[in-house]
Structure 1
Amino acid sequence: MGGLPGADPVRYLPVKPEVVVEIDVDQERLEFGRYRHRPRVRRVRGDLAPDLVDERQ
């Protein structure tokens, strides 16, 4: 579940990671568990495999 209070629930569909991308965000840390604005894809990282990426970075 997620979304804004009073709004319809946000659907969640887990997927198998197959591609690594860099993203740009408007703030360094999450605010209340989310970014203020939607992250944007910067570029595809064909030189990295999903199993080599640390999700905490």
Structure 2
Amino acid sequence: MLLRHGIVYYGGKPWTGPHDRWLRARRELLTLPGLGARRDRLDAAIAGWPPTARSPQT
């Protein structure tokens, strides 16, 4: 979503601690209309998956 708006992370590898902090600092950009509702629908769908379909807990 951020990439579509020209916002790119150049701080190293994605999905690491620094990347997570970078994403959290831009959280206000992720509040585009409808995005929160989409996230909630996806979370609900994932919660309904069988435990074996989910990724392992770390």
Larger relative contact order (C-alpha < 8 A, sep ≥ 6)? Answer: 1
Asked whether the two chains share a fold, i.e. TM above 0.5, the reply is no
TM-score (norm 1): 0.24
